[in-house]
Structure 1
Amino acid sequence: MRALALVCSLKPSPAPSSSQLLAQQLLDELATHSVTGEVIRVVDHDVRPGVETDMGDGDAWPGIREKIVAADILIVATPTWVGHMSSVAQRVVERLDAELSQTDDEGRPAMFGKVALVAVVGNEDGAHKIIADLFQALNDIGFTIPAQGATYWNGEAMTPGDYNDLDETPKAVAATNSTAAANAAHLAAWLRANNYPAS
């Protein structure tokens, strides 16, 4: 099975990214369940605004979409800004909206049978709201959400410091990463063998 992590940091590579660190930790956990993974930092690519699969004129989304279509598990990782997901994560959701009109050979929405995980980091409140918003959007688009399918880290309010500044992964985050990955791999394997009914 394959997983794709869309990292929605506002920082282009090679700047350190807490969102990418948490996404990579999920991929590392998925690897223990024989899932291979890849990271795409979305801001490194010219993803145009819009709600179509291809906005033309050099739009990088079609290439990213091909990787989403090929994956069994999608991870959306985002920082928290003023209590909300990043603008990059919002753009990813807007571009995924085009999948509502895409179907497979049996008439199912194109993202049926795929599993989604969410990862959120920030040194302010907002993780639960961001997870709720992303879960709702991803489920509407056709992704299946596993039990406890999100992981997050919030630093102490109004205190400097980022997730990638920590000396070690907090035990609670590590345990959550492990559970989310195990449940996602289990569900993805099941859906690969038992996809939803054809329309």
Structure 2
Amino acid sequence: VTLQMEPRNVSRWAVQASALTLSVNPIRVIVDNLVGKECPSKELISLAQGDPTAYGHLKPPEKAVAAVVHAFSSGHHNGYTASTGSAACRAAIAEVHSQGTSPLSRDDVFVTVGCSEALEHCIAVLAAPGSNVLLPRPGFPLYETICRRHGVECRFYNLMPECGWEVDVDSVRQLADASTAAILINNP
């Protein structure tokens, strides 16, 4: 069978960008606007990025560095691993976090590349488009960005600074309904 196709003259592609490209992390907007606007008389202390190594304040232990160098040098760990994290890594995490009547196995652990990816997975798995998630106010702006990207309504419950930032349980009761998929609690 011969397939005949009509010739096409396409002078311009009509590819539409995903609506997901419209979501912007508010922290990035602030940080990106700071570049080049430092005050010469004051040192900038960035609280915007979660990378504790960016300013040399959190050096890994020498034993950890040696273990990474050894693993890399062996050539046995330089490729892809399971998308949930290596079995050995997940088993070690499960062992550390198991408690008496609540034992964990490696199958209970999912490893991500950083907190942002973990939040993305959690919200995508727990909340369907059209549902809502209760978020703390004040809170981390990325929670809202991820929810909106997935079509999830954000509802904000209050934290009470005068009570050591305890959750205002009455505001949670007022906000929660049958469409509430999750309540995000950040501690600390």
Q: What is the TM-score when the length of structure 2 is the normalising length? A: 0.28
**Larger Rg over CA atoms:** 2
**When you count strand as a share of all residues, which structure comes out higher?**
1
* Normalised TM-score (structure 1): 0.27
Higher RCO (CA 8 Å, separation ≥ 6 residues): 1
